[in-house]
Structure 1
Amino acid sequence: MTVLAVIPARGGSKGVPAKNLAPVGGVPLVVRAVRACLAARRVTDVVVSTDDGLIADAARAAGADVVLRPAAIAGDTATSEAAVLHAMDAYGAMRGDDAAGPDVVLLVQCTSPFLTAEDLDGVTGAVTEDGADTALTVAPTHGFVWRQDGAGLARPDGYGVNHDKANRPRRQDRPQEYLETGAAYAMRADGFREARHRFFGRTALVPTDPARVLEIDDPHDLARARLLAPLLDPQVLPSYDDVDAVVLDFDGTQTDDKVHIDSDGRETVAVHRGDGLGIAALRRSGLELLILSTEQNPVVAARARKLQVPVLHGIDRKDLALKQWCDEHGIAPERVLYVGNDVNDLGCFGLAGWPVAVASAHDEVRAAARAVTTKPGGEGAIREIAGWLLGPSLKVTPSAPPDSPVLPEPSASSAPHTLHTVNK
């Protein structure tokens, strides 16, 4: 049984520019959809239909095949059905003209960020095992729906659609109703080709968790999705095999974001000894390291020298600097773990494959992160991240010198220490 999941993801979007590449939980929407499809047991093939090169690159990197959609069916008035039909034909041609077409085709919308593999297996199973011709994800609802007569008039009249204004039955006395989520649809492929729409024949309703129902149509939806992601997404932490480089912001991640100024105008900041142990272990592990800071401050350079880590500071556009550094070192941005705490880190969050926020980060930064530490900045957050990558005891890799120690967990007495800048 061949089940082809088609994810339409065109480049143009009026409500949210570049919407399908917008990160939620640190992961672009199109990549979230690809990952859900790849995780579904019943899906055998995944293809993204797009007219945009950046979306195509992101989809391929996530593990999907890509079909380039012609402009004629990539405009604002193009239907999802047209994109799916084109993708079926184009994907068949990619596999060879003699290849049999899919038995079942799925329409998967990446604008539903909290779609799960279970949702996709549910609609697929309704067609492959339960005899339905089509299936869709729905959410149970008990809402009262209203319409207005005389729209535009000074006093339009409202009336009930699924209820009578004079008779308001209790929830338990009303028939169960369902809201179409817009996330996933399954169709028999032959029937879909003939009908050319997604609701032919017998249609099965596959209920999903109402808490996960959200379609991103405007910036407010996107902001809401980013706030919900830490609550709805399972926390997936990176491992050593997931990254090639760790790039660290300084203020607010390696410090508590406070600056102490004495009577002579000298600045001091506090850093955590445990973070220093973690950074040393990361350096010995063979990962590329970089400190990237907006501040042009001697304290940043002094800390970098002590840690033996390269530093770029006084940087206005940190994302451009990160991209250039990746190019110079031959590192794919999706293999970079970037640690930040404030809104000037969001550009790097959009570039790095593993954007990580410290616990004390700005709300917008936490919402855009793929993972969030339990420790605040300056209180062991970097040591915690090193533990994700190297294990709690921070064992070094075999590439490190034989006499390299296994670093113990920091004791309660591992207090922060202070660095002093020098006036120049």
Structure 2
Amino acid sequence: MPTVLAVIPARGGSKGVPGKNLAPVGGVPLVARAVRACRDARLVTDVLVSTDDPSIAQAARSAGAEVVLRPADIAGDTATSEAAVLHAMDAYEAMSGNKADVVLLVQCTSPFITHEDIEGVAAAVIEGGADTAHTVAPFHGFVWREDTTTDGHGVNHDKATRPRRQDRPQEFLETGAAYAMRADGFRSRGHRFFGRTALVRTDLARVLEIDEPDDLARARALAPLVDAGTSSGLAALPTREDIDAVVIDFDGTQTDDTVLVDSEGHETVAVHRGDGLGIAALRDAGLPVLILSTETNPVVAARARKLRVPVLHGIDRKDLALKQWCEEQDIDPQRVLYVGNDVNDLGCFELVGWPTAVANAHDIVKGLARSITATSGGHGAIREIAAWILGPSLSRTPRRDLSQ
């Protein structure tokens, strides 16, 4: 079997989107999304992330990649991807004693790359006889360009004669997501296109490169839809094998965010009996469950006592409290599912491996979630999550009750 080395360049300095390669999309950092796609590709034997940033290196290792630290002279704004790949190939050979037969360049700024894309470019070289290959998407648009007089003219068409789509040759848009090259040819030529180049078709709906903040916002908005339609596993619901603890916000997740206040200032909220059964099932299955809330409210403490789970409330920085709790419990935050609904949950979302939003959460929260319930907070969302983890026997949801 040929040695296929996938190299993911992920430097720390990005002016357009600071911290871009660690930015979460669908609850998963961009570099980790790329690593997972490479690891799931059947023809890839080794995955290597090239970076100059310790935090990116840590995220890459956590996702299952090897890391090579890139020297400063090829880590600046003018550094090319080819230079990073050549350096990574040298480092790989020095570390492993093996030579790569085929090298892949995989861009983590393409958030919706799949293992099928990566398998496709690798197979085009290994099995199809191509020297290089890259992902493309079918393109039917009319391309225009302005000259120095600002006169618009057609690039791929004559503006005076616009042929029908079916009468024009098929054109393809380079996606920038994945490239494959024969390693010896890449070394001798120093660039990613040489010899016979194969075009590997992918879905135009998944083509998005993150270069600007608006691109990142679009990716986060699209992630729940796009991830659900792929076999990447990024949108897969967590199971018991994925989770070591469940941490739950209170207002807006266990309630519908409505508070009833009587004339003496006593507060009453509505909770769902099904959520209580779901939490009990998680607890009985041996999963630590914690309620975490910024509110200093006797309602929160009373609900935690009834459910027989610990509670931390009146917390200013929920993320710091959660980090400390994980350390005390000796739990890896990447194995924690955190359920939230509003912007004060975002710090916890960045800390854990399974940030989860309820269906009626703020749009920003849903954009950063790895999983989203079909049920709104206070209407059985926690029961739904328990069913993800423990199985469909928890799918029935009883009525709500009132808790004071």
Bin for the TM-score computed over the shorter chain? over 0.9
**Matches for 1:25-36 after TM superposition, within 5 Å:** 25-36=26-37
- Look up the match of 1:186: 180
Partner SS for 1:241: coil
1:12-411 correspondence to structure 2 within 5 Å: 12-96=13-97, 99=98, 101-150=99-148, 156-234=150-228, 235-393=235-393, 410=396
Helix, strand or coil at the partner of 2:241: helix
Q: Percent identity?
A: 76
User: CA shift at 1:290, angstroms?
Assistant: 1.0
Q: Distance in 2 between matches of 1:207 and 1:388?
A: 34
Aligned residue for 2:116, secondary structure, equals helix
Query: What count of residue pairs does the alignment treat as equivalent?
Result: 397
- Within 1, Cα distance between the matches of 2:183 and 2:109? 23
Offset of residue 384 of structure 1:
1.1
Q: Distance in 2 between matches of 1:376 and 1:384?
A: 10
Cα distance, 1:325 vs structure 2 = 1.5
Q: Which AA in structure 2 matches 1:45?
A: D
Deviation at 1:410, TM superposition (A): 4.8
Q: Distance in 1 between matches of 2:167 and 2:146?
A: 25
Moved more, 307-316 or 270-279: 307-316
Q: Letter of the 1:136 partner, please give it.
A: H
- Cα distance in 1 for partners of 2:120, 2:388 equals 34
Helix, strand or coil at the partner of 2:110: coil
CA shift for structure 1 position 351? 1.0
CA distance in 2, matches of 1:286, 1:326: 16
- For 2:317 and 2:167, how far apart are their aligned partners in 1? 59
Tell me the CA shift for residue 297 of structure 1: 1.3
One-letter identity of the residue aligned with 1:292: L
Whole-Å separation in 2 of the counterparts to 1:285 and 1:257: 28
| AA matched with 1:208 | T
Residue in 1 that maps onto 2:232: none
Shift of 1:156: 2.0
User: What CA distance in whole angstroms lies between the structure 1 residues aligned with 2:265 and 2:327?
Assistant: 39
Taking the aligned partners of 2:217 and 2:295, their CA distance within structure 1 comes to: 28
Q: Deviations over 1:351-381 (max 9, x none)?
A: 1101111111112212211111121111111
The Cα of 1:143 is off from its aligned counterpart by 1.2
Mapped to 2, the partners of 1:77 and 1:323 lie a distance apart of 38
Give RMSD over aligned pairs.
Answer: 1.3
1:72-105 Cα offsets, whole Å, 9 max, x none, are 1111110000000000010111113xx3x11100
Cα shift readout 1:147-174 (whole Å, capped 9, x = no counterpart) = 1122xxxx62221111112111111111
1-side partners of 2:80 and 2:396: how far apart?
A: 58
Aligned to 2:399: 415
Runs of 4+ in structure 1 deviating by more than 6 angstroms, as ranges, are: none
Segments of structure 1 that go 5 or more residues without pairing to the other structure are 395-408
Deviations 1:92-139 (A, max 9, x none): 11113xx3x111000000000111111111111111122211111011
Distance 2:118 2:390 in 1: 34
Quick one: which amino acid aligns to residue 125 of structure 2?
V
AA aligned opposite 1:128? I
Structure 1 residue 393 displacement after superposition: 2.6
For structure 2, which runs of at least 5 residues remain unmatched after alignment? 229-234
TM-score normalised to structure 2 length: 0.96
Q: State the shift of 1:220 in Å.
A: 0.5
Structure-2 separation of matches of 1:318 and 1:265: 26
Shift of the alpha carbon at 1:37?
0.5
Give the Cα–Cα distance (whole angstroms) in 2 for the partners of residues 85 and 6 of structure 1: 9
* CA distance in 1: counterparts of 2:106 and 2:360, whole angstroms: 36
Q: CA deviation at 1:316?
A: 2.1
Measure, in 2, the Cα distance between the counterparts of 1:64 and 1:227: 27
| Structure 1 position 238, deviation (Å) | 0.7
Question: Counterparts of 2:96 and 2:166 in 1: how far apart (Å)?
Answer: 52
TM-superposed CA distance for 1:392, in Å, is 2.5
Q: 1:261 to 1:173 in 2, by over 3 A?
A: same
